[in-house]
Amino acid sequence: MKEYRTISKIAGPLVFVEKTEPIGYGELVNIVTFDGTIKRGQVLDTSDNLVVVQVFETTAGIGRDSGVRFTGETIKMPVGKEMLGRILSGGGKPIDGGPEIVPEKRLDITGAAINPYARASPNEFIQTGISTIDGTNTLVRGQKLPIFSAAGLPHNNIALQIARQSKVIGSTEPFAVVFAAMGITKEEANHFMKDFERTGALERAVVFLNLADDPAVERIITPRLALTTAEYLAFELGMHVLVILTDMTNYCEALRQIGAAREEVPGRRGYPGYMYTDLASIYERAGIIKGLKGSVTQIPILTMPGDDITHPIPDLTGYITEGQIVVSRELHRKGIYPPINVLPSLSRLMNLGIGKGHTREDHKKVSDQMYAGYAEGNDLRGLVAIVGKDALSERDRMLLEFADLFEQRFVKQGYDEDRTIVDTLDLGWDLLSTLPVEQLTRIDRDLISKYHPKFKAGATKE
Partner 1 sequence: MEVKEKDSKIDKLGVLKRISGPVVTAVNFDAHMYDVVKVGNEALMGEVIKIQGEETIIQVYEDTSGIRPGEPVVNTGLSLAVELGPGLLTNIYDGIQRPLSVLVDKMGNFIERGVSAPGLPHDKKWEFKPLVKEGDKVIGGSIIGEVQETNIVHKVMVPPNQKGGTVKSIKSGSFTVDDVVCVLEDGTSLTMMQRWPVRVPRPVKEKLNPEIPLITGQRILDGLFPIAKGGTAAIPGPFGSGKTVTQQQLAKWSDAEIVVYIGCGERGNEMTEVLTEFPALVDPKTGKPLMERTVLIANTSNMPVAAREASVYTGITIAEYYRDMGYDVSLMADSTSRWAEAMREISSRLEEMPGEEGYPAYLAARLSEFYERAGLVITLAGGNGSVSVIGAVSPPGGDFSEPVTQNTLRIVKVFWALDAKLSQRRHFPAINWLNSDSLYLDTLHDWYDREVSPEWNTLRSWAMEVLQKEAELQEIVQLVGSDALPETEQITIEVARMIREIFLQQNAYDEVDTFCDMKKQYDIMKSIKLFADLSATAQAAGVTPSQIIGSKAKNELPQIKFIKDYKPELEKIAKEMDEEFNALRAAA
In whole angstroms, how close is the CB of 213 to partner 1 at the nearest point? 31
Which of these ranges, 79-87, 113-121, 427-435, 449-457, lies near partner 1 under the rule CB under 8 A? 113-121
Ranges within 161-220 binding partner 1 (CB under 8 A) = none
Of residues 69 through 108, those in contact with partner 1 by CB under 8 A are: 73-74
Distance separating alpha carbons of residues 286 and 322, to the nearest angstrom:
10
Stretch that binds partner 1, among 31-39, 159-167, 384-392, 420-428 (CB under 8 A): 384-392
Tell me if 277 contacts partner 1 by CB under 8 A: yes
Which of 211, 320, 336, 398 binds partner 1 (CB under 8 A)? It is 320
Sign of CA dihedral 383, 384, 390, 392: positive
Of residues 205 and 432, the one with the C-beta less far from partner 1:
432
- What is the C-alpha to C-alpha distance for residues 139 and 288, in angstroms, rounded to an integer? 14
Residue 107 Cβ vs partner 1, minimum distance, rounded to whole Å? 11
Question: Which among 120, 121, 158, 116 has a CA at the least distance from the CA of 137?
Answer: 158
CA nearest neighbour of 442 among 369, 384, 392, 381:
369
Q: Which position among 92, 300, 318, 428 is part of the footprint of partner 1 (CB under 8 A)?
A: 318
CB of 378 to partner 1, least distance (A): 9
Closest approach of partner 1 to the CB of residue 194, in Å: 34
The answer to whether residue 435 forms part of the interface with partner 1 (CB under 8 A) is no
Query: 284 vs 430, which CB is nearer to partner 1?
Result: 284
C-beta of 10: minimal distance to partner 1 in Å? 19
Q: Under the criterion CB under 8 A, does residue 289 sit at the interface with partner 1? A: yes
Q: Of 108 and 418, which has the nearer Cβ to partner 1?
A: 108
Please say which residue, 69 or 348, places its beta carbon nearer to partner 1.
348
Binders of partner 1 among residues 134 to 163 (CB under 8 A) are 142-143
CA distance 259 to 271: 8
What is the nearest approach in angstroms of partner 1 to the Cβ of residue 122?
Answer: 6
Strand pairing class (125-126; 139-140): antiparallel
Distance CA 186, CA 192 (A): 10
- Residue 343 DSSP one-character state: E
Distance CA 442, CA 302 (A): 34
Which of 112, 213, 356, 357 touches partner 1 by CB under 8 A? 112
Round to whole Å and give the CA distance between 178 and 167: 16
Closest to partner 1 by CB, 189 or 431: 431
Q: Does the footprint of partner 1 cover residue 114 (CB under 8 A)? A: yes
d(CA 55, CA 40): 6
**CB closer to partner 1, 204 vs 293:** 293
Site string for partner 1, 387-426 (x = CB under 8 A): x---xxx--x------------------------------
Rounded CA separation 204/176 (Å): 5
Contact 433, 440 (CB under 8 A): no
Ranges of beta strands (E only) in 311-379 are 323-327, 340-347
Nearest to 5 by CA among 34, 27, 37: 34
Q: What are phi and psi of 191, to 5 degrees?
A: -60, -45
Residue 375, phi then psi, degrees to nearest 5: -60, -45
Does 264 participate in binding partner 1 (rule CB under 8 A)? yes
Which of 171-179, 208-216, 348-356, 452-460 is the region at the interface with partner 1 (rule: CB under 8 A)? 348-356
Q: Is there a contact between 23 and 70 (Cβ–Cβ < 8 Å)? A: yes
- For partner 1, which residue of 285, 332, 360, 363 counts as binding (CB under 8 A)? 285
Minimum distance from residue 265 beta carbon to partner 1 (Å): 5
Rounded to whole angstroms, the Cα distance separating 235 from 256 reads 32
Length of the chain counted residue by residue? 462
